[in-house]
Amino acid sequence: MRMKLSKIALGVAGLCAAPATFALTPAQMDGATARLWLSGASAPTASVYKGVLTLCRGMTYKDALGVTHTNPGTRDAHLYLESSSAGRLPGAAGDRMAYTCTVGTDDGRAGSLEGKKVAVFHTVEGGSFNYVTPHISIAGEVNPNLPGSLRRTSNIENLGATGQCANGTAENVAVELSGLNNSVGVYRGCATTVQNFTANQSLRANVFQAPDRPEGGFSDTEYLINKLNLDVTTELGEIGSEVPTNIAQVFGVVVSYPLYYQLQKNDIADGRLAATCDDAPFTAVSPNLTLACQPDLAAQRYTTIANVDTIGGVDGSLFGAAATPPGTSGKVQLHRRAITSGTQSASNLRFLEKPCNTGLPQGALNPARAADSTARVAVTENSSTGGVKSGLTAATNAGEFGLGFVSMENIPVAGVDKWAFVKLDSASPNADAKQRVTAMDGIYTAWYELVAFTAHTAFTEGQDLIAAVNTSLGNPGITDLTGLFITPLAGVEAPNVGKGFRAGNSCQAPIQ
């Protein structure tokens, strides 16, 4: 059943600027705390965690009409991050994280979670399809393409008892939610735990104990896409249910600085960019990143390197350079995602027509993997979007050509990230600050619709968590987020509603 979104007070999540009263530290976790686990797509990580925060006491948000609401109670939100890197927040802080607070909304949208202490474990290891792989394994399917385990943040109370977070005291960090700031407590460098999934497992851990499987999660593409890609036999209805969110996730090609500079030189030579775009002080180490000087990459070039049947002939000349590209290794670096990744599914859809064209026409191409690396191309399969970004930064530092495909919610961190988006077939994916306007207008079509999955074994609290976060994401007030827009099928009116939709079918061309 397609979700219809409300215009009531579910809007932009924000946090007031007053100092937080940090409660719900590891020492305050107890037997009444609901511990719930989400897994799946890494692309919308920042959006999901912000959606969770909108359920917490003390949070201030605006509804679709611009009316400000404040969740009652004292704010006590905390973030527990796998990464120990300073300044990083979910979406750029490792594949495992957790969010804790006392739930309390001013409109009761959190259902059975209202008034409860909650620890939400969030795993984006391996990407989208891991929103369902634990349940496929538990259902009894043995598939070499699927993992038999996932990691999550260790139990929060143990992190406090044994000092398993690098900073033993919560750091006071400003979190931006749709332009409104507040401070939350952040623990970094937190320990993780491996959870194995046993086929036909019949006993569940109590919801207030250590989670033994995710309640569900979010994916960049619907179940059928990766079911076909990974030769899965389990039907969706055997393990749970999926709801289209009517939210579109935009994707784009990102490249290292040396490749960005090379593409600029190509476009200058072709008269497509001003001759001044590569003038001093701009170099391959620090190119001109203004929109007016953004270079173009033909989709067929990305297809050539991403396709297993043509990667063998790829070298630096594909990008107008010498066959041996610059850098210490003399290789082009393709930073793709793991086979269970929704972002990788989006890449396969956009550049390889896989699995959409797998019938009699035989038009689908198969993606190149790490084992297909050559003397001129190094293919790396990253478990998360963060790995792609760090790989491209490393490529820049080594003076090498690197490229990948990531969601448009990602914005380079100045002084840290050394990669940039390029145009795709002459259309820029980031012509605006929200990195979505060309996709919303139908000019740029590399976008697909998020889905929310809830397992049959999910507790009532887990069902309510996923439904509440999904509602938060799908409201035009809250989902005024970078790289995301709402499709017309949501039935709402707002500036961030695009013109096109795929109706929950990633193989369908966008229509309006």
Confidence of residue 335 (pLDDT cuts 50, 70, 90): very high
What is the DSSP-derived secondary structure letter of residue 307? B
Query: How far is residue 452 from each of residues 214, 243, 318, measured CA to CA in Å?
Result: 13, 5, 39
Q: How far apart are CA 400 and CA 390, in angstroms?
A: 13
Residue 506 and residue 352 in contact, taking contact as beta carbons nearer than 8 Å? no
Q: Report the distance separating Cα 2 and Cα 12, nearest Å.
A: 22
436-495 pLDDT per residue, tens? 999 999 999 999 999 999 999 999 999 999 999 888 776 666 667 789 898 998 877 777
- pLDDT score of 253: 98
Considering the chain, what is the average pLDDT of its residues? 87
Q: 483 vs 20, which has greater pLDDT?
A: 483
Give the model confidence (pLDDT) of 345-366 as tens digits.
999 999 999 999 987 778 999 9
pLDDT value of position 298: 97
**Residue 285 CB partners (closer than 8 Å, separation 6+):** 257, 258, 396, 399
Higher pLDDT, 485 or 253: 253
Strand partners, 8: none
- pLDDT confidence band for 21 (50 / 70 / 90): very low
CA–CA distances in Å: residue 447 to residues 419, 439, 490: 20, 7, 16
Specify the domain boundaries for CATH 3.40.190.10 within the chain. Answer: 251-440
pLDDT tier, 60 (very low <50, low <70, confident <90, very high otherwise)? confident
CB neighbour list of residue 326: distance below 8 Å, 6 or more residues apart: 258, 284, 316, 399, 400, 401
Amino acid at 195: Q
CA distance 312 to 305: 8
How many Cβ atoms are within 10 Å of 282's Cβ, its own excluded? 17
pLDDT at position 272 over 50: yes
* % of the chain with per-residue pLDDT over 70: 90
Identify the burial level of 143 via C-beta atoms within 10 angstroms of its C-beta, where 0-12 means exposed, 13-18 middle and 19 or more buried.
middle
Give the count of alpha carbons within 13 A of 16, CB side only.
18
Rounded mean pLDDT of 76-101? 88
**pLDDT of 418 higher than 60:** yes
**Which phi and psi angles does 131 have, rounded to 5°?**
-75, -15
Q: What contacts 280, CB < 8 A, 6 or more positions away?
A: none
Residue 32 pLDDT:
84
Lowest mean pLDDT of 133-142, 143-152, 490-499, name the range: 490-499
Give the span between the Cα atoms of 167 and 170, in whole angstroms: 7
Report whether CATH 3.40.1280.10 matches the domain 251-440.
no
User: If pLDDT is split at 50, 70 and 90, which confidence band does 2 have?
Assistant: very low
pLDDT for the residue numbered 376? 96
DSSP letter string over 437-469?
HHHHTTS---EEEEEEEEETT--HHHHHHHHHH
**Cα dist from 7 to 124, 177, 225, whole Å:** 30, 19, 31
Q: What pLDDT band is residue 64 in, cutting at 50, 70 and 90?
A: low
CA pair distance 36, 369, nearest whole angstrom: 34
Concatenated DSSP letters of 167-182: SSS-EEEEEEETTEEE
Instruction: Judge whether residue 201 has pLDDT over 90.
Output: no
pLDDT at 277 exceeding the cut of 60? yes
**Mean local confidence (pLDDT), 398-420:** 94
pLDDT at 7 over 80: no
For 23-33, write each residue's pLDDT tens digit.
Answer: 577 878 888 89
| Max Cα distance, the chain (Å) | 67
Higher pLDDT, 209 or 450: 450
Q: 3-state DSSP call for residue 500?
A: coil
In sequence order, the 6+-apart residues with CB closer than 8 A to the CB of 302 are: 253, 351, 403, 405, 424
